[in-house]
Chains A and B, each alone.
Chain A
């Protein structure tokens, strides 16, 4: 079997499908093929790494698919350009819709890195703003403030969190003015700026309805679905592992029960991955309280989370 990317080789090796000897052989072939352009190779490696980072996120299959689509699209546009074929201008403004804690900001951060690596953005930074950063206090102040933020974001991504709040205030609200400035800038600087509007599902839909021009100006709409219970459990395990804690089988069971009860009881305000993080941090604090009474603790004890630590995390 042949592999296309080095990451695939590493994955196959981790899974125990191939031995180190074979892995090295295929790496040898791969690297030798791309030896003449060492520089390209380097950036290719970084693109792979960024994509890999995205793949490491749990769930979000639709998002991953779209990012790969964009990558393929950009690559093909570039090749077409080399053959002097007509190319489409790249408009990559996006709308992220999803409940709190479904990974919108995380994905935006990874995307900014990714777009920088493949050369769509010159600087590849992410400016995160909210309504208060864009809307001013008196007439004329809003345009000035919004333009300032835009100027900072050129060459990168402007990420507007809770974007629906810009249109919430009614007729006399300054938010409208801010939207006008944004719309103008996203047309004028479409080669240099990616605008991402993010917000909760329902609010974003009504926000897009208020201004008919908005919907068509954003070619990419990404929905961030709520995580399934299995995915939340995976996320929790990953978070514990990242903090160097380990879970026993009983703890895993207790954790899944806890997540079920959370999902059903506080259905509306359930913060998805963010709630999971809060649960975990609380459990870690409970564990600390449990252990502080002991005078000596082993490495194992310091790492293990017991079901009792989770039981007391109720809210």
Chain B
């Protein structure tokens, strides 16, 4: 089974994207497998709404472990399963909380072996400093992912008014990547994401 991994800064909408995307391709309930950094696995069954209320939050670092869900998509006459894994957000600074540091290390270790990387970038947060700083974590993920080829950028939060006009800046920043504008909250742009998943299965 191919594993699609979601990475990005904290609060860029990774979990929301995973859950709404699951809903978009037709899952009403999801079985989420949590993998903590010390190898512990737990599985919980949620409806989409429950999962959203329990796993998504406005606070930073809500997700602290790897959360995988298995989804299926119909390709021609067959139904293909794939795994989509949500991860602990990676921030630039060294975090004071050890569990979060371990969560980030776990994210990076999975980044090395995932079959496909969805890199979520918050378009509404593109500022001048962000444009002029070549050392942001998004740049590093981009540099890492572009070599791997199995990599796409999801430009999230395009529904926000502050995101208007930022798509061109994003394309200018990350010229080599395949960039898909989406809104995880409003399920916009998921058709292209689904096509991208189907191409890479």
With a cutoff of 8 Å between Cβ atoms, the chain A residues found around residue B95 in the complex are 16
**B113/A45 in contact, CB under 8 A:** yes
B130 within 8 A of A: no
B129 within 8 A of A: no
Looking at chain A's contact residues, the main secondary structure is: helix
For chain A, the count of residues having a C-beta within 8 Å of the partner chain is 25
**B101/A21 in contact, CB under 8 A:** no
The interface-forming segment of A23-31, A92-100, A158-166 is A23-31
With a cutoff of 8 Å between Cβ atoms, the chain A residues found around residue B111 in the complex are 27
Alpha-carbon gap, A13 to B94, bound state (A): 8
B123 within 8 A of A: no
CB-based nearest A residue for B144: A28
A5 shortest CB reach to chain B, Å: 11
Looking at chain B's contact residues, the main secondary structure is: helix
With a cutoff of 8 Å between Cβ atoms, the chain B residues found around residue A17 in the complex are 94
A267 within 8 A of B: no
Give the size range of B's interface with the partner.
Answer: 20 to 34
**B147/A35 in contact, CB under 8 A:** yes
B103 shortest CB reach to chain A, Å: 9
Alpha-carbon gap, A6 to B102, bound state (A): 14
**A19/B92 in contact, CB under 8 A:** yes
B106 shortest CB reach to chain A, Å: 8
User: With A6-B112, A13-B105, A242-B38 as given contacts, are A21 and B140 in contact (CB-CB < 8 Å)?
Assistant: yes
B104 within 8 A of A: yes
Alpha-carbon gap, A47 to B135, bound state (A): 32
The 0/1 profile, CB within 8 Å of A marked 1, for residues 85-102 of chain B is: 000001111111010011
**A28/B140 in contact, CB under 8 A:** yes
The 0/1 profile, CB within 8 Å of B marked 1, for residues 37-61 of chain A is: 0000000010000000000000000
With a cutoff of 8 Å between Cβ atoms, the chain B residues found around residue A28 in the complex are 140, 143-144, 147
CB-based nearest B residue for A15: B101
Alpha-carbon gap, A244 to B135, bound state (A): 38
User: With A16-B98, A27-B112 as given contacts, are A21 and B147 in contact (CB-CB < 8 Å)?
Assistant: no
A11 shortest CB reach to chain B, Å: 8
A241 within 8 A of B: yes
With a cutoff of 8 Å between Cβ atoms, the chain B residues found around residue A25 in the complex are 140
Alpha-carbon gap, A267 to B114, bound state (A): 49
CB-based nearest B residue for A17: B94
B163 within 8 A of A: no
Alpha-carbon gap, A279 to B24, bound state (A): 49
Alpha-carbon gap, A242 to B41, bound state (A): 9
With a cutoff of 8 Å between Cβ atoms, the chain B residues found around residue A241 in the complex are 38, 40
**A14/B101 in contact, CB under 8 A:** yes
B111 shortest CB reach to chain A, Å: 8
CB-based nearest B residue for A242: B40
In B124-160, which residues have CB < 8 Å from any A CB? 135-137, 140-141, 143-144, 147
B185 within 8 A of A: no
With a cutoff of 8 Å between Cβ atoms, the chain B residues found around residue A6 in the complex are 109, 112
**A13/B38 in contact, CB under 8 A:** no
A214 within 8 A of B: no
B108 within 8 A of A: yes
Alpha-carbon gap, A18 to B108, bound state (A): 13
User: With A10-B105, A10-B109 as given contacts, are A19 and B94 in contact (CB-CB < 8 Å)?
Assistant: yes
A20 within 8 A of B: yes
Alpha-carbon gap, A244 to B113, bound state (A): 27
Q: A16-B98, A45-B113, A244-B40 are in contact. List 17 more A-B contacts (CB 8 A).
A: A10-B106, A11-B105, A13-B101, A13-B108, A14-B105, A19-B94, A21-B135, A23-B108, A24-B90, A24-B108, A24-B137, A27-B112, A27-B144, A28-B140, A28-B144, A241-B40, A244-B42
**Residue positions of A touching B, CB distance < 8 A:** 6, 9-11, 13-21, 23-25, 27-28, 31-32, 35, 45, 241-242, 244
The 26 sampled A-B contact pairs (Cβ below 8 Å) are A6-B109, A10-B105, A13-B101, A13-B108, A14-B98, A14-B105, A16-B98, A18-B94, A20-B90, A20-B92, A20-B104, A20-B108, A20-B137, A21-B135, A21-B140, A23-B105, A24-B90, A24-B141, A27-B108, A27-B112, A28-B140, A28-B143, A45-B112, A241-B38, A242-B40, A244-B42
